[in-house]
Structure 1
Amino acid sequence: MQDNYLAKWLNDELTEAELVKFKKSEAFKTYQKIKESTSQLESPEFDMDKAWAAIDQHKTTTEETKVHVLSPFKTFLRIAAVIAVLLAGSFFYLSTLNESYTTAYAEHKAITLPDTSEVILNAESELAFSEKKWNEHRNVDLKGEAYFKVAKGKRFTVATSQGLVTVLGTQFNVETREDYFEVTCFEGLVSVTINNKETKLPAGNSLMTINGNSTMSKAPLNGAPSWLSKESSFESVPLHYVMDELQRQYDIEVSTKEIDTAQLFTGTFSNHNIDLALKSISVPLQIKFNLEGNKVLFYAEKAPK
């Protein structure tokens, strides 16, 4: 990453290609959190006219004496106010700083939590928690997908933008993407709360919500998500979610032409053999594909390439 990416990002001067590259860097998450934290702060109200009026009331003058306002001092006051805001922002950020782990495209990551619970992050995902408060609350925030093997103990909570998952000690998988939320329980019992509605999910069951519509399905008892075995499996899932997962697992750019990406797909593709993965998607749907470098195009059989 070039040294000037940060400055250009803050000024909204990055090109689209530079922005994509910058977002994949490990440093981007930290810069983004600092920016988000400080953006919530408001600078203290400071009335320059009132400040100078107060100074005028305390100064000693004579008829012959004239007091000239020194512009350098005005500048100092402005700088002091800015510094105060920045210091407050830094304190706010550091006081809420969590342990955070992220994965890029085509990357998995194993994490051991303070209570020895185990988490494996799927591609393009993020997990955050407060290590200082862990003994009080076993809470984690999740973006993306992760498999959890929770040690028995106090209530364990996984917070996502689309729902809340609560357990005491069990094995389960959580995936949260745009308009897509799925929780699968492999062992024990999981409580899933969506829009203030709680659903008890026993082992061997899966709850999937797409665009606010929820469905239940079966899952293997004492099993594990397929992606841990380097496969991605789907059951009646809109095709565009399948394409998104293909893109995440192989770090490639996926596009389609004259294909209904809302059609439902049931099947599995390999996460370690790109040619086999493309055939696993295209053959059942009777569509074609063209792979060039890190770009793949799916198209209808009669559609022009």
Structure 2
Amino acid sequence: MNRENLISKWLDNNLNDQELEAFKNLEDYDDLITLSESVQAFKADDYNTSKELENVLSKLTPIGVEDKKQHPRHWLKPLMRVAAILAVCFSLYYYTTTIDTTITTEFAQKTTIELPDASSVSLNAKSFLTFNKKDWKQEREVELNGEAFFKVAKGSSFKVITKSGTVTVYGTQFNVKQRDNYFEVICYEGLVGVTHNAHETKLKPGDSFLIIDGKTIAKEKENRTNPSWLNNTSTFKSLPYKTVIAEFERQYNVDITLINIDSDQLFTGGFAHDNIDVAIKSITLPLHVTYSKSNHTIILKRE
């Protein structure tokens, strides 16, 4: 049975079990269900067809008997009501099939989602990801602000668009981190192309692409099979201390103030995401920095 007949029988609640399964396998099944649910809120008032017809006929006057301007055509009202409902239905259908899907994480929150092609994305704290489900088969493309780890299913070109650059994927696993004045891509499997300032850099497993404050930073080969934050730990190798502080604030939802501390000094180390007291010691003891903590505020100070 073709698509139109399936939808027609569905609207009439007249699908058998086999036809119901075929209907559920339609490409726009989710959109049709969403549209149906939305339209329930726009149902017209109960309408007695026979009664309304009698009313219309009783009020119709042959042309020439009276000035037709004195008798408004009451049959227009129910017709306009139906037209209005149809307009709303088409508007809702267009809206629900073209709107982007956005996934957002808050402070100290992580989440993993599945994209329409079974690719998966893990979002780190304080990040958001946007994609269009309707256009996915024609264009596998997401917009990212924050940090995410991707496992991309094989298929057409897959792109991750950020404010700092575009990552083009050829079936792989990789991590993208785009924060204020910080842009990093690490390839863990397959091949990744990073376009920055109109220049593309190809990354193989273990390769990294890192730009901080507009400067390209060379990094050692990555030996891990996935980013540490997936295991609730943030690690850093010779990165500015301000980068460490910013990540700490995102993972623990705190505000940190530095006193007599150079935020550009390089730091190597890390901290866990499940114990703030242990974590704060992990980023202060190596630099001989003292700290005080009150509610959501932490002050780091060097005497």
| Superposition TM-score tier, normalisation by shorter sequence | 0.5 to 0.7
* TM-score between both structures, scaled by the size of structure 1: 0.66
* TM-score between both structures, scaled by the size of structure 2: 0.67
Q: Unaligned stretches of 5+ in structure 2?
A: 1-91
Equivalent residues of 2:148, 2:177 under 8 A apart: yes
Partner of 2:253: 251
Q: Unaligned stretches of 5+ in structure 1?
A: 1-89
Amino acid at match of 1:294: H
Q: Pairwise mapping of residues 195-206 of structure 1 onto structure 2 (< 5 A)? A: 195-206=197-208
Q: Secondary structure at the match of 1:141?
A: strand
Partner of 2:141: 139
Amino acid at match of 1:288: T
| 2: CA distance, partners of 1:219 / 1:175 | 17
| 1: CA distance, partners of 2:186 / 2:178 | 12
Equivalent residues of 2:97, 2:134 under 8 A apart: no
Q: Pairwise mapping of residues 119-158 of structure 1 onto structure 2 (< 5 A)? A: 119-158=121-160
Q: Secondary structure at the match of 1:217?
A: coil
Equivalent residues of 1:146, 1:173 under 8 A apart: yes
Equivalent residues of 1:257, 1:299 under 8 A apart: yes
1:289 partnered with 2:291:
yes
Deviation per CA, 1:177-202: give whole Å up to 9, x if none: 01100000000110001000110110
1:115 partnered with 2:136:
no
| Residues 92, 197 of structure 1: alpha-carbon distance in 2 compared, 3 angstrom cutoff | farther
Amino acid at match of 1:228: L
Give aligned pairs, total: 212
Amino acid at match of 2:246: D
Amino acid at match of 2:158: F
RMSD: 1.9
Amino acid at match of 1:154: S
Partner of 1:280: 282
**Structure 1 residue runs of 4 or more that deviate by more than 6 Å after TM superposition:** 90-95
Displacement of 1:219 in angstroms is 4.3
Q: Percent identity?
A: 45
1:213 partnered with 2:220:
no
Displacement of 1:168 in angstroms is 1.8
Displacement of 1:215 in angstroms is 2.2
Amino acid at match of 1:255: T
Q: Secondary structure at the match of 1:284?
A: helix
Partner of 2:167: 165
| 1: CA distance, partners of 2:244 / 2:191 | 28
Displacement of 1:216 in angstroms is 3.2
| 2: CA distance, partners of 1:199 / 1:225 | 20
Amino acid at match of 1:188: G
| Residues 278, 221 of structure 1: alpha-carbon distance in 2 compared, 3 angstrom cutoff | closer
Which of these two proteins has the greater Rg computed from alpha carbons? 2
